[in-house]
Structure 1
Amino acid sequence: MDPEQRSGSTGISGAILSEIPGMPAKPLMIMLSLKEF
């Protein structure tokens, strides 16, 4: 992954959560944290 994507992952996830309130937040955060490592 590019460093830009890693640094902006939180912003992207926030936008997705705000756009799709039906999506569970915890699984998304877990997947994002796994992708970062």
Structure 2
Amino acid sequence: GLVTGRSEKSLRYAASGALKLAQEMEDAIDSAKD
């Protein structure tokens, strides 16, 4: 992208990590409902 390769890579890594965390939290909430 427009930013340097390294920072773009770390941004993407952080974004995917946050997404994964959000999905895990959703799963935890769903299982807590049962």
Q: Shorter-chain TM-score category?
A: 0.3 to 0.5
Which protein shows a greater Rg? 2
* Higher fraction of helix: 2
More contact order relative to length (CA 8 Å, sep ≥ 6): 1
